Amino acid sequence: MKAIKPLMINGFEIHKGFLSRADQAKVVQSLRHVVSQAPLVSPVTPSGKPMTVRQTSAGKLGWVTDTSGYRYQATHPNGTPWPAVPSQITAIWQEVTQCMRAPDSCLVNFYTEHAKMGLHQDKDEGNFDFPVVSISLGDDALFRMGHVERGGKTESIWLSSGDVVVMGGAARLAYHGIDKLRFGSSGLLTQGGRVNVTLRVVDQGASEQQPS
Ligand code: SIN
Ligand code: MN
Per DSSP, the three-state class of 132 is strand
Q: Give the strands of the sheet with 105-111, arranged side by side.
A: 7-9, 12-15, 164-167, 132-138, 194-200, 105-111, 54-59
Q: How confident is the model at residue 172 (pLDDT cuts 50, 70, 90)?
A: very high
Give the nearest ligand 1 atom to 136 CA. 8
* Minimum CA distance residue for ligand 1 atom 7: 196
Would the CB of 196 count as within 6 Å of ligand 1? yes
Residue 4: what pLDDT?
77
Residue nearest (by alpha carbon) to ligand 1 atom 3: 198
Whole-number Å distance between alpha carbons of 48 and 66: 7
Q: Whose CA is nearest to atom 5 of ligand 1?
A: 177
d(CA 79, CA 21): 35
pLDDT tops 80 at residue 58: yes
Alpha-carbon span 212 to 57, nearest angstrom: 30
Cα 57 from Cα 131, distance rounded (Å): 18
In Å, the largest CA–CA distance within the chain is: 47
Instruction: Grade residue 1 by pLDDT with cuts at 50, 70 and 90.
Output: low
User: Which residue from 143, 196, 199 has its CB within 8 A of the most atoms of ligand 1, so it is best to mutate?
Assistant: 196
Q: If you measure from the C-alpha of residue 177 to the centroid of ligand 2, how many angstroms do you get, rounded to a whole number? A: 7
Average pLDDT over every residue of 3-7 = 84
Is any ligand 1 atom within 6 A of the Cβ of residue 117? yes
pLDDT for residue 208: 54
pTM: 0.95
- Residues within 5 A (CB) of ion ligand 2: 122
Nearest-CA neighbor of 103 among 119, 121, 123, 87? Answer: 87
Nearest to 58 by CA among 92, 104, 26: 104
Q: Burial of 209 by CB count in 10 Å (0-12 exposed, 13-18 middle, 19+ buried)?
A: exposed
- The closest alpha carbon to 197, from 116, 133, 118, belongs to 133
Residue 82 CA to residue 22 CA, distance in Å, equals 26
Q: Which pLDDT score is estimated for 206?
A: 59
